[in-house]
DNA sequence: AGCATTGTTTCACA
DNA sequence: TTGTGAAACAATGC
């Protein structure tokens, strides 16, 4: 699930439901998710604190506490935030009638008995104290025109790789990249530095619009071209075949007619 | 069995 | 030194 829209929904859930509550206990025993912390380090630092505010930049999220360290949470490839058993973003429950295992990798238990849980089927999510956000570029939903031109419109790397580079622009993942480039009718293979100012301005507006739309509708999977990202898929606008290749290390689909050969 | 997966980090190489 | 791309990471689903 998690790209910028899912992370923003998780952040909003925390803001709505978890702020002001006091941490009574912490389960930080998953040493991979909590790396490089040793078990007990997060518990020691967070127990007794109250959650004060919830923030996000790109796919990185963090919670400020009253006087203590901040708590960084990253959803990785498959993570979700659950507060008191209400899932963020995805209304689907675990297995109809099944006893599916629950993948709770990090848990805050509040003094009122509720919970904030990082539930992650895989274990690529992270929970760390005072996360380092220094390497992140401007948020994809907020970046201004000049910064976008300057950061995105350079280099020989494929355009798609450029907009997915979290140090250049924070928040765009594989699906949102395909959706935005399809909406902008831009070839994902083009060198980023080959775009002119008008193309860059257009791409910026499309990325921002696609991002906000995905937040409003529940996630990146609600994009128009996402259901057609499959072998033998066709463009939902023109009906041409969807092309497929690995770009920037990720499987990429684009319209063979509207976005170049 | 084998391959793919909405993310990030590390390493090799030009 | 910088930029780019592949592999590793963990776990699951088709």
- pLDDT of A95 strictly over 70: no
The DSSP output letter for A250 is E
Cα angle A167, A172, A175 (rounded to 5 degrees) comes to 145
Q: What pLDDT digit, counting tens, does each position of A1-42 carry? A: 699 999 999 999 999 999 999 999 999 999 999 999 999 999
Does residue A221 reach within 7 angstroms of strand B, measured from its CB?
yes
| E-only strand ranges, chain A | 23-27, 51-57, 60-65, 71-74, 79-83, 86-87, 104-110, 115-120, 126-129, 242-247, 250-255
Q: What pLDDT digit, counting tens, does each position of A162-173 carry? A: 999 999 999 999
For A248-254, what is the mean pLDDT?
A: 94
Q: How many CB atoms lie within 10 A of CB A135?
A: 9
Q: Which fold has domain A4-129?
A: N-terminal domain of MutM-like DNA repair proteins (3.20.190)
Domain(s) labelled CATH 1.10.8.50 in chain A stretch across: 145-225
Q: What pLDDT digit, counting tens, does each position of A217-246 carry? A: 999 999 999 999 999 999 999 999 999 999
Helices (H) and strands (E) in chain A, counts: 6, 11
Residue nearest to nucleotide C4 (CA to C1'): A157
What architecture does CATH give domain A145-225?
A: Orthogonal Bundle (1.10)
Of the pLDDT bands very low, low, confident and very high (cuts 50, 70, 90), residue A103 is: very high
Domain(s) labelled CATH 3.20.190.10 in chain A stretch across: 4-129
Does residue A52 reach within 7 angstroms of strand B, measured from its CB?
no
* Reduced DSSP (H G I as helix, E B as strand, rest coil) percent helix, strand, coil of chain A, to 5: 30, 25, 45
CB A88, CB A81: distance < 8 Å: yes
Nucleotides of C under 7 A from a protein CB: 3-7, 9-12
Of the pLDDT bands very low, low, confident and very high (cuts 50, 70, 90), residue A86 is: low
- Give the pLDDT of residue A259: 96
Residue A119 C-beta-side C-alpha neighbours within 13 Å: 22
Residues of A designated as active site: 2-3, 59, 250
Query: Which nucleotide's C1' atom has the smallest distance to the CA of A135?
Result: B8
- pLDDT of A212 strictly over 90: yes
Q: What pLDDT digit, counting tens, does each position of A104-133 carry? A: 999 999 999 999 999 999 999 999 999 999
Which of chain A's residues 28-87 bind strand C, using a 7 Å CB cutoff? Answer: 32, 77
A122 CA to C10 C1', in Å? 6
CB A203, CB A180: distance < 8 Å: yes
């Amino acid at each position: 699930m998690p790209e910028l829209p899912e992370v923003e929904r998780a952040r909003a859930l925390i803001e709505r439901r978890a702020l002001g509550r006091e941490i009574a206990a912490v389960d930080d025993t998953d040493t991979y998710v909590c790396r490089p912390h040793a078990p007990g380090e997060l518990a020691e630092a967070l127990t007794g604190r109250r959650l004060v505010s919830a923030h996000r930049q790109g796919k990185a999220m963090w919670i400020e506490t009253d006087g203590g360290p901040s708590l960084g949470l990253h959803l990785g490839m498959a993570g979700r935030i659950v507060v008191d058993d209400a899932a963020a973003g995805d209304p689907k429950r675990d297995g109809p009638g099944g006893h599916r295992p629950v993948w709770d990798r990090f848990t805050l238990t509040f003094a009122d008995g509720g919970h904030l849980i990082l539930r992650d089927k895989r274990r690529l999510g992270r929970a760390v104290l005072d996360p380092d956000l220094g390497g992140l570029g401007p948020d994809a939903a907020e970046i201004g025109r000049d910064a976008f031109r300057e950061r995105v419109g350079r280099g020989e790397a494929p355009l798609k790789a450029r907009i997915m580079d979290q140090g250049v622009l924070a928040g765009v993942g594989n699906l949102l990249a395909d959706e935005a480039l399809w909406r902008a009718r831009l070839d994902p293979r083009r060198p980023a530095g080959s775009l002119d100012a008008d193309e860059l301005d257009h791409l910026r507006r499309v990325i921002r619009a696609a991002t906000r739309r995905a937040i409003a509708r529940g996630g990146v999977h609600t994009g128009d071209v996402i259901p057609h990202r499959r072998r033998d898929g066709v463009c939902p606008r023109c009906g041409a075949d969807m092309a497929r290749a690995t770009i920037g290390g990720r499987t990429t689909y684009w319209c063979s007619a509207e976005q170049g050969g």
